[in-house]
Amino acid sequence: MNPAIQAFVFDAYGTLFDPHSIRTLAEALFPGHGAALSQLWRTKQLEYSWVRTLMHRYEDFWSVTRDALTFSCHSLQLPCTEKQRDALLDAYLRLEAFPEVKHSLERLANRRLAILSNGSPRMLRAVVDSNGLTHAFERLLSVDELKLYKPHPAVYQQAADRLKVPKESIGFVSSNFWDVAGATSFGFQTFWLNRAELPADELGVTPTAALQTLADLLP
């Protein structure tokens, strides 16, 4: 039997905040290419974070996000001006929370809650504040302190250290299966937020539970 959960730790992008909520702006700037730009941008953003960790050449997530956008525009042959690039990057600071997030977090207000994210501290504070969630979390934990990206085990250890909670008593919630895999391997109790009802990746790990929305985390 798993020990009682003393704190819930949430991934940010894709879990609480929708990285594809920039599609509307992307479509307005590049008609007919908004969805493709959003998808490629997110894919390269993650890829760059993993590659940089493996190369020991850390850049913060703002730089990674900017470089992924630049590549995506070049790849899709979109003539992105500096003004358009800055507008898209600014939108990343104001990504929309998924519809059920605010109410679900309010119902968990009696629990210890934190975010553990690849996002830089400035990015996390901006997106949390813009969604009116400033007081929902005890801590906003960024990989920037370690100069390593998830799913490196040291990132998950950071959450246990900062919260002063045994890893077995942390419930980790993410929509990204690779992140759930890393957290499960580390020793967290894990909750895969599988909104799209995707098959699990073949990584030899099984989350504690799968959720369809964040509201399913509630008792």
| Architecture category of domain 7-17+95-217 in CATH | 3-Layer(aba) Sandwich (3.40)
Note whether 91 and 25 are within 8 A (CB): yes
* Residues 115-135: tens digit of each pLDDT: 999 999 999 999 999 999 999
Mean of the pLDDT values across residues 8-35?
Answer: 96
pLDDT surpasses 80 at 174: yes
pLDDT confidence tier of residue 3, bands split at 50, 70 and 90 = confident
* Residues 70-88: tens digit of each pLDDT: 999 999 999 999 999 999 9
Indicate the fold that domain 19-92 takes in CATH. DNA polymerase; domain 1 (1.10.150)
Each domain of the chain, given as residue ranges in start order, spans: 7-17+95-217, 19-92
- Range from 1-5, 111-115, 152-156, 209-213 carrying the lowest mean pLDDT: 1-5
Helix H or strand E segment including 211: strand 209-211
Sign, Cα dihedral of 42, 45, 46, 51: positive
Which pLDDT score, from 0 to 100, does residue 218 have? 81
How far, rounded to the nearest angstrom, does the alpha carbon of residue 163 sit from its chain's CA centroid?
Answer: 19
Topology match between the domains 7-17+95-217 and 19-92 = no
Catalytic residue of the set 11, 18, 60, 179: 11
pLDDT confidence tier of residue 50, bands split at 50, 70 and 90 = very high
Cα(71)–Cα(147) distance, integer angstroms:
22
Cα(64)–Cα(44) distance, integer angstroms:
9
Closest CA to 136 of 173, 163, 103, 164: 103
- pTM comes to 0.95
Which pLDDT score, from 0 to 100, does residue 1 have? 59
Q: What angle do CA 117, 151, 68 make, to 5 degrees?
A: 65
Supply 189's token pair: 């109790």
Residue 144 designated active-site? no
Cα(196)–Cα(181) distance, integer angstroms:
17
pLDDT confidence tier of residue 219, bands split at 50, 70 and 90 = low
Strands 189-193 and 209-211 turn out to be: parallel
